[in-house]
Amino acid sequence: MVDALSGVELFDTPFVNRLKAEIVSAGRKLWQRAYVDGNGGNISARITDNLVLCTPTLCSKGSLNPDELTIVDLDNNRVFGLRPHTSEILLHLEIYKTVPQARAVIHCHPPHATAHAIAHVIPQGDLIPEQEVFVGPVALAPYETPGTTAFARTILPFVRQHNTILLANHGIVCWADSVEHSEWYVEVVETYCKTLMIAQKLRQPLPQIPAAKIQDLLDLKKKLGLPDARLPLEESAAEQSLSQPGPTSPDPGEFNALIDELTLGVLGAMGEQA
């Protein structure tokens, strides 16, 4: 049904209008938190198996106009749009083709995470529960010229088991089941990198969460259906059909309940150590 609509018709459907609003909101948050500057960064959201909504080129993410967003297919053909789309959509498209359950992708340049990418330093893990559950180990993709096919393909060895990747000498890219969750992961990894850099000035080496407690977090991560290089790669998840628009992750109620479970677990552990 959706695939039968023309680009103009699809662009004004309620579903795509919601995605437009989510992208505009995420762009404003990224800009307000100085995770993008100038015309930096780009955001996309999957509409169908083969169609993606994305930000235009040369625009501030703090003042996105929903009517200037663009629909492209997975071969990077513009289906509808008043302005040319971002050249870095190739990176997004490689993620969508490799990870069918990905519904949204954000590429940006938060300063502390990008500092790690510039230094080619993967942040130490097993330190903060929220990072372990929502992001986990962070991969580092090698440098290539942005906007090229070679650049887009640098993430291929990592993207199925990592929802957050450092792009060497460039920035980061995050994928998730929604635009909002992609933006959350940006916030999580940036805050983690910032906190880690502060903590390393206080003490070295940093004490890690015990392995048994990390396993508890990984069990919770399985419930959320989030990828992690420490978990077996689920072939069935990667082969899910996306013929109908909408998220494939747990419903919001289940997702929020698991967040509460994580929070209570962390508070309980803090109480035990007090």
pLDDT above 90: percentage of residues in the chain: 81
pLDDT number for residue 240: 40
Indicate the pLDDT class of residue 259, thresholds 50, 70 and 90. Answer: low
Average pLDDT over residues 249-263: 53
pLDDT number for residue 8: 79
pLDDT number for residue 260: 61
Average pLDDT over residues 124-148: 97
Collapse the DSSP code of 199 into the 3-class scheme (helix H, G, I; strand E, B; otherwise coil) and give the result. Answer: helix
- pTM over 0.75? The answer is yes
Domain boundaries, given as residue ranges, for the chain? 2-273
Identify the bridge partners of residue 245 per DSSP, sorted by sequence position.
none
Inform me whether the pLDDT recorded for 115 exceeds 50. Answer: yes
- The CATH class of 2-273 is alpha beta
- pLDDT tens, position by position, 215-229: 999 999 999 999 999
pLDDT number for residue 236: 35
Query: Do 132 and 209 contact (CB within 8 A), yes or no?
Result: yes
Average pLDDT over residues 245-269: 50
Indicate the pLDDT class of residue 258, thresholds 50, 70 and 90. Answer: low
Give dist(CA 229, CA 162) in Å, integer: 7
pLDDT number for residue 262: 61
Inform me whether the pLDDT recorded for 45 exceeds 50. Answer: yes
Average pLDDT over residues 84-94: 96
Torsion of CA 1, 234, 105, 103, to 10 degrees: 20
Strand order of the β-sheet with 104-108 is: 78-80, 70-73, 51-54, 42-46, 104-108, 171-176, 164-167, 139-141
Inform me whether the pLDDT recorded for 248 exceeds 70. Answer: no
Query: Do 180 and 26 contact (CB within 8 A), yes or no?
Result: yes
Among the listed ranges 17-21, 169-173, 182-186, 231-235, which one has the minimum average pLDDT value? 231-235
Average pLDDT over residues 176-195: 98
Report the first-to-last Cα separation within the chain, whole angstroms.
Answer: 58
Inform me whether the pLDDT recorded for 4 exceeds 80. Answer: no
Average pLDDT, the chain: 88
Q: How many CB atoms lie within 10 A of CB 144?
A: 17
Distances in Å between the Cα of 156 and the Cα atoms of 98, 141, 235 are 7, 9, 16
Average pLDDT over residues 200-208: 97
Indicate the pLDDT class of residue 265, thresholds 50, 70 and 90. Answer: low
